[in-house]
Amino acid sequence: MPTNIQGLLRKFLIWKYKHIPERNFIYILSILVGFLAGLGTVTLRNLTHYIRLLFEISFFKNYQNSLYFIFPIIGLLLVYIIKQTWLKKHIGHGISSTLHAISKLKGIIPRYNIYAALITAPLTVGFGGSVGLQGPAVSVGSALGSNLGRLLHVNTNTRMLLISCAAAGAMASMFKAPIAAIIFAVEVFSLDIAFASLIPLLLASISAVITSYFFLGTDFLLRFQLTDKFQINDIAFYIILGLVTAFASVYFSKVFFAITNFFKQFESRAKRLLIGGLAIGTILYFIPPLYGEGYGIMNNLLKGDHLAAIGTTPFNLDLNNIWIVIALLLGISIFKAIAMTTTFGAGGVGGVFIPTLVMGSALGNAFAKIINNIGFGFHVSESNFTLIGMTGLMAGVLHAPLTAIFLIAEITGGYELFVPLMLVSAISFAITKYYISHSIYTLKLAKRGELMTHDKDQNVLMFLNIDKVIETNFVALKPEMSLGDMLHEGVAKSTRNLFPVTDNEGALVGVILLDDVRDIMFKQKLYDCTFVEDLMHNAPDIIDYKNDSMKTIMNKFQDSNAWNLPVIKDGKYVGFVSKSKLLTAYRRQLINFTKS
Q: Are residues 523 and 550 in the same domain?
A: yes
> What are the distances in angstroms from CA 446 to CA 103, 431, 437?
11, 19, 9
Q: State what percent of residues in the chain have pLDDT above 70.
A: 87
pLDDT value of residue 377: 84
Does a structural domain hold residue 225?
no
| Domain CATH code at residue 410 | 1.10.3080.10
Domain boundary pick from 422, 449, 476: 449
Q: Are residues 376 and 302 in the same domain?
A: yes
Q: Positive or negative CA dihedral for 528, 529, 532, 533?
A: positive
Q: For residue 150, name the pLDDT band (cuts at 50, 70, 90).
A: confident
Domain boundary pick from 417, 449, 481: 449
CB 369 within 8 A of CB 329: yes
When comparing pLDDT for 40 and 227, which is higher?
40
Does a structural domain hold residue 221?
no
CA atoms of 42 and 112, how far apart (whole Å):
19
pLDDT value of residue 395: 94
Domain boundary pick from 190, 216, 242: 216
> What are the distances in angstroms from CA 433 to CA 184, 246, 436?
18, 9, 5
| Domain CATH code at residue 464 | 3.10.580.10
82-86, 165-169, 329-333, 422-426: least confidently modelled range: 82-86
* DSSP per-residue codes, 542-563: -EETTT--HHHHHHHHHHH--S
Condensed to tens digits (0 to 9), the pLDDT of residues 26-62 reads: 888 999 999 999 999 999 999 998 888 877 665 555 5
Average pLDDT over residues 368-396: 92
Does the pLDDT value for residue 482 go beyond 80?
A: yes
Does a structural domain hold residue 222?
no
pLDDT value of residue 19: 72
- Name, of 134-138, 358-362, 578-582, the range with top average pLDDT: 358-362
**Domain enclosing residue 506, as ranges:** 458-595
Average pLDDT over residues 263-288: 88
Does a structural domain hold residue 223?
no
pLDDT value of residue 247: 95
Q: Are residues 188 and 236 in the same domain?
A: no
Bridge partners (DSSP) listed for residue 499: 512
When comparing pLDDT for 549 and 433, which is higher?
433
Q: Are residues 522 and 574 in the same domain?
A: yes
Q: Are residues 250 and 377 in the same domain?
A: yes
Does the pLDDT value for residue 373 go beyond 90?
A: yes
Does the pLDDT value for residue 557 go beyond 90?
A: no
Condensed to tens digits (0 to 9), the pLDDT of residues 315-353 reads: 777 788 899 999 999 999 999 999 999 999 888 888 888
Does a structural domain hold residue 421?
yes
Q: For residue 414, name the pLDDT band (cuts at 50, 70, 90).
A: low
192-206, 405-419, 489-503: least confidently modelled range: 192-206
pLDDT value of residue 333: 93
Q: Are residues 199 and 268 in the same domain?
A: no
* DSSP per-residue codes, 128-161: T-S-BSHHHHHHHHHHHHHHHHHHTT--HHHHHH
How many other C-beta atoms lie within 10 A of the C-beta of residue 66? 12
Task: State how many domains the chain has.
Answer: 3
pLDDT value of residue 520: 84
Does a structural domain hold residue 98?
yes
pLDDT value of residue 35: 94
Q: Are residues 419 and 279 in the same domain?
A: yes
When comparing pLDDT for 509 and 55, which is higher?
509
Q: Are residues 397 and 521 in the same domain?
A: no
pLDDT value of residue 461: 57
Does the pLDDT value for residue 162 go beyond 80?
A: yes
pLDDT value of residue 343: 92
Average pLDDT over residues 485-507: 85
pLDDT value of residue 151: 82
Q: Are residues 335 and 426 in the same domain?
A: yes
Average pLDDT over residues 264-289: 88
pLDDT value of residue 331: 92
What residues have CB less than 8 Å from 369, skipping those under 6 apart?
306, 322, 325, 326, 329, 382
If 0-12 CB within 10 Å is exposed, 13-18 middle and 19+ buried, where does residue 64 land? middle
CA atoms of 498 and 494, how far apart (whole Å):
9
When comparing pLDDT for 530 and 57, which is higher?
530
Does the pLDDT value for residue 64 go beyond 70?
A: no
Q: Are residues 15 and 33 in the same domain?
A: yes
Task: Report residue 243: phi and psi, to 5°.
Answer: -65, -45
Does the pLDDT value for residue 454 go beyond 60?
A: no
Q: For residue 425, name the pLDDT band (cuts at 50, 70, 90).
A: very high
Does the pLDDT value for residue 586 go beyond 80?
A: no
pLDDT value of residue 405: 92
Q: Are residues 401 and 478 in the same domain?
A: no
Does a structural domain hold residue 589?
yes
Does the pLDDT value for residue 4 go beyond 90?
A: no
Does the pLDDT value for residue 132 go beyond 70?
A: yes
pLDDT value of residue 362: 94
Condensed to tens digits (0 to 9), the pLDDT of residues 76-112 reads: 999 989 888 887 776 766 677 777 777 666 677 888 8
pLDDT value of residue 2: 60
Q: Are residues 442 and 387 in the same domain?
A: yes
- Determine the length of the chain: 596
- Name, of 243-252, 278-287, 518-527, the range with top average pLDDT: 243-252
When comparing pLDDT for 465 and 200, which is higher?
200
Does a structural domain hold residue 395?
yes
pLDDT value of residue 198: 83
